[in-house]
Structure 1
Amino acid sequence: MFGKTEHPFLDPLWRRIVLVAFCVFWAGVEFYFDNAMWGYVVLAIAVYAAWAYLLTYKPSSEAADPDKDTQE
């Protein structure tokens, strides 16, 4: 949708979970300090990050060579 999301740094699941959790936490901080606009912006980023990095993420090794089964 917005470009490549695969990167070797993000291959471990715990890093992707921390990334999404941080975005949700930061959205909560923005809402707590009555910055609703920034809260919604960061919440939208968190939703996209959850979709891209938790639901549809493919490790960088698979993304680099998607046809490795058919090359033989």
Structure 2
Amino acid sequence: MRQREAEHPFYRPLWVRIVLTTVLCLWCLVEWMNGEAFWGVLVGAASLWAIWTFFITYRPEEPLSAPEKTSETPPDE
């Protein structure tokens, strides 16, 4: 199965997602304050995408190497 780019292990820590989204939101604010409506809309859209992807719909994959718990009992000797 193909992994979505937003589910890359780099984005797993919460602080990484918070920093990236905060930087985008601040960049959008700077663009609007400088009167750059085009760039403000572009970065604003990227900010909304980051909020949607990293906080609303984010579902990290479980590690594949996690041991499975079984309820089997060892055979009697």
TM-score interval (norm. to shorter): 0.7 to 0.9
Q: What TM-score comes out, normalization by structure 2 length?
A: 0.71
Q: What TM-score comes out, normalization by structure 1 length?
A: 0.75
Count of aligned pairs: 62
Structure 1 runs not aligned, ≥5 long: none
Superposed CA deviations along residues 12-67 of structure 1, whole A, max 9, x for unmatched, are 111101111110000001011110110011001000110001111122x43x75xx
- Asked if 1:56 corresponds to 2:53, the answer is no
* RMSD value, Cα: 1.8
Task: Report the alpha carbon displacement of residue 4 of structure 1 after superposing the two structures with TM.
Answer: 2.8
More helix per residue: 1
Q: Which has the larger radius of gyration?
A: 2
Percent identity over paired residues: 40
Highest relative contact order (Cα 8 Å, sep 6+), 1 or 2?
A: 1
Structure 2 runs not aligned, ≥5 long: 69-77
